[in-house]
Structure 1
Amino acid sequence: MPRRRSLHPEEQEVWDLVARTARPLHPPRARQAETAPPAATPAPVPPVAEPAPPAPLPAFRIGARAPQPPARHDLAPPIGQQIAAHPLRMDAATHKAMRRGKLMPEARLDLHGLTLAEAHPELIRFVLNAQSAGLRLVLVITGKGKDRDRGGPIPTRFGALRHQVPHWLALPPLRGAVLQIAEAHLRHGGSGAFYVYLKRSR
């Protein structure tokens, strides 16, 4: 192995001058950390909301009845309540006696079993003829109806004829002949019939 010779003073001076201008190929790691840009501070993570605690169950004792679901409500009141809400246009004492079944109808029309198309002209003919004959109280029997709802998109009302007759009586040509409508007393058919109190014919 050849021996390394020492540098002369002139050579050492030139070497020191060159060494001062040289840059290291691999700087120390400590110096890299000093010159590296500071790392970005991560954004704060919002706290996760804790789920609300479940509502406590109602107290229950062995042998107690379980709560029942709320009953379904029909937005349209029954036809009897609708008619009872109509304003009174006849003598109050006569109306009270009629509602109690103490007045005997002077004529009756039985529409039970007819279709709506068949019942409407029959009702018009009967009421107008009764008024022309001077009658005041007549009875229109509709029956309580059957449940004919087939489950279609439009529900069918229970007792379509019973609900339609008061509507017909409030429309021309019968509106000018009818003074008051009331649900019949049990002795005259109850909710399956109507008292129709007529105006005096002119």
Structure 2
Amino acid sequence: MSDRPLTAGEKALWQKLVETVEPLDQKRVRRLDSLPVAKKLREVKGPITAATFGGAPHRAISLKDLVAIPEKAGLDGHWDRRLSKGVVQPDVTIDLHGHTLSSAHGRLDSALELSISAGHRALLLITGKSRSSEERHREGGRGAIRAAVSDWLAASRHAPYIATVRRAHPRHGGAGALYIILRRRR
């Protein structure tokens, strides 16, 4: 906004506008004042967990109770069609680019915990394209996260909540991304 003074024509126009303005009805003002105001969100210090996110953490599952996630089971034909056409809008996108294996695993685990607590159904996991072992060796280990994701999900404490994992549509990243579809809460 400039600091220049108003011209005589602008002052006259402003005065005409001011004359047409009617004061608010005091009943409406009091009614607006009585409406609840959104409370200020509290500051969260430290790592984000299910407890700080507002949900309850799930109990850990013992290793002997873990089961592998079937690749094609768990979804009906409607979901299959929507995934293959790329019309599914993910509730959450998790981007693991630039993470080490351990930080990517921690980020995926916490994102799954928060998404399950929030009741999300579709997650988009961006990992980058997987590489062959020869390419990984030549390029310094690139693609290691993508190679490890299926093992992480199968051994995860969240495995019972995962309905399926599918390759993403090219619109959402294609070979460099995965859809994780969570089971519906009952």
**TM-score normalised per structure 1:** 0.51
Q: Flag the structure with higher helix content.
A: 2
Q: 1: CA distance between counterparts of 2:116 and 2:185?
A: 6
Structure of greater Rg: 1
Q: Structure 1 residues 90, 124: closer, same or farther in 2, change over 3 A?
A: same
Alignment match of 1:184 (pick from 165, 168, 172): 168
Aligned length: 114
Q: Secondary structure at the match of 1:127?
A: helix
Q: 2: CA distance between counterparts of 1:89 and 1:145?
A: 25
Q: Secondary structure at the match of 1:170?
A: helix
The letter of the residue matching 1:173 is R
Q: 2: CA distance between counterparts of 1:163 and 1:179?
A: 20
Q: 1: CA distance between counterparts of 2:127 and 2:71?
A: 20
Q: Secondary structure at the match of 2:155?
A: coil
Alignment match of 2:105 (pick from 120, 126, 138): 120
Which is bigger in relative contact order (C-alpha 8 A, separation at least 6)? 2
Gaps of 5+ in 1: 1-84
Deviation at 1:199, TM superposition (A): 1.2
Q: Structure 1 residues 144, 87: closer, same or farther in 2, change over 3 A?
A: closer
Q: 2: CA distance between counterparts of 1:148 and 1:127?
A: 27
Deviation at 1:128, TM superposition (A): 1.4
Deviation at 1:87, TM superposition (A): 3.4
Q: 2: CA distance between counterparts of 1:111 and 1:99?
A: 23
1:99–1:183 CA contact under 8 A, matched in 2:
no
Alignment match of 1:133 (pick from 95, 102, 118): 118
**TM-score normalised per structure 2:** 0.55
1:183–1:194 CA contact under 8 A, matched in 2:
yes
Identity score, percent? 37
